[in-house]
A and B are shown apart, each in its own frame.
Chain A
Amino acid sequence: MANDAIAEQERMRRFRDAALPHLDEVYTLARYLMRNTDDAEDAVQECYLRALRHFDTYRGPAMKPWLLAILRNVCNSEFTRRGRGEVPTDYAQDELVAEEMPMWQEQQASPEKMMVRQQDAATIRRLVAGLPEPFREAIVLREMNNLSYQEIAQVAGVPVGTVMSRLARARAMLRSAWNASENTTVRSGPVTASGTAL
């Protein structure tokens, strides 16, 4: 009994040391997947409880993608429970629709379109949050969580090739939205981008 108790304490301590440093990463993904703070917080807490429960069977890979994969499952079960559209089975459908759309709308990009201008953090967050799944998830895992393609594949449970095509789609959509939001800014501003012509 004494040994069991000490072992349990030791197990919790090891889990804390391994998992807590990734709390901000887990919260970041939760925030983008759930799209509101209350749901994100609940999901993160549930993620840590599940992770602790399965810690004994954890043999790798790295702790961060392992936790993010659990978080993703928590979010998806929550979506399933609520019967919202954002469940894994709908992902494939999204992707099919996406494949049919042209990869890139403006075939001949004009010179000013080449530029990708500075956007503030709030705008970028809004643009990313506006992406449909599974593209939002892919871009967040890559750009915010800094995962490798291999790790993203592990978290999302898809082959690396799928990660690559999702990322390409995600960035193309993000760039369109990015430029659109720039244009709005430019139009409403006092000076036009291309025409300060005298």
Chain B
Amino acid sequence: MKCDESEVMLHALIDGELDAGHARDVEAHVAACPGCGEKLAAFHTMHEVMSATPLKEFAPAHLRSRIEASLTPPASRVVSMRSFFKPTRRSFFGGFAVGSALSAAVAASFVLTVIRGDREQAVADEVVSAHIRSLQASHLMDVATSDQHTVKPWFNGRVDVAPPVIDLTAESFTLLGGRLDYIDSEPVAAVVYQRRKHLINLFVAQHLGARHARPVAESIQGYNVRHWSQDGLDFWAVSDLAGDELAEFVQKIARAVPRSSSAS
């Protein structure tokens, strides 16, 4: 084997792409040729350093939600789909997203009318749609702060409940802020938390679906949903978090909700 051949092959050796025969050839040449031996050592070290260094990029949370949402048509009315699929800055993909979203929405609503129909399901779907909207429309928060003492008073006069705003930072659920949202045309308080890259919307209102003392779990459009009632308030937690992690969140919130937070 000549040096110019070896210079290419030694990379295949480093990358484990050579069969035993070729590997032997390269190793024999490298052992006899100091120049190629030096290169193999250097490139091997470089490869090892690169493998050991975290060079991967991680898709930002908002991009992930945007893509997840575009692959998860919300079970809401077709009318809302227009604003839902906002085109990107340069309209990279023209009309395709809207077209497929519309047909998907038609498909989704059709499935819903077949399978569901009761009031509880309608509310659940609205809650999930509100969650997806919050990720899409860069309107996640009206008040963005991790300070519960800022978020809580902000809701005063905006909704007819005083939603409990609980700091769970120590439990690795970060409080991001609060938002006024509408479900079934009624204003509801949305408190936003985050764990890792996953956002959680906790919707709180006086009457939102049937009363359940114990949390009811379901999965809608790929989102996990937990609904329960406590102290005269209805709570809906929605997230793309895994079911058990969302259950943990619900448990911590339910335990921390102070008795005094009742709308009374």
Contact = CB atoms under 8 A, between A and B. Distances in A.
B70 A45 contact: yes
A125 interface: yes
A65 B57 CA distance: 17
Contacts of B64: 23
A119 B96 CA distance: 44
B115 to A, nearest CB: 9
B264 interface: no
Interface in A100-135: 103-104, 107-109, 113-116, 118-121, 124-125, 128
B218 interface: no
Interface string A167-185: 1100110110010000000
B25 to A, nearest CB: 15
B66 A168 contact: no
A194 to B, nearest CB: 17
A33 to B, nearest CB: 11
Nearest to A167: B11
Contacts of B7: 103-104, 168, 172
A55 B227 CA distance: 35
Given A1-B110, A52-B100, A149 B15 contact: yes
A154 to B, nearest CB: 14
Interface of A: 1-2, 4-6, 8-9, 12-13, 15-16, 20, 23-28, 31-32, 37-38, 41-46, 48-49, 52-53, 78, 103-104, 107-109, 113-116, 118-121, 124-125, 128, 142-144, 148-149, 164-165, 167-168, 171-172, 174-175, 178
27 contacts: A1-B110, A2-B110, A5-B107, A8-B104, A9-B111, A12-B104, A13-B222, A20-B67, A20-B68, A20-B71, A23-B59, A23-B64, A25-B56, A27-B58, A41-B60, A42-B92, A43-B92, A45-B63, A45-B93, A46-B92, A48-B70, A52-B100, A108-B35, A114-B41, A144-B55, A164-B8, A172-B7
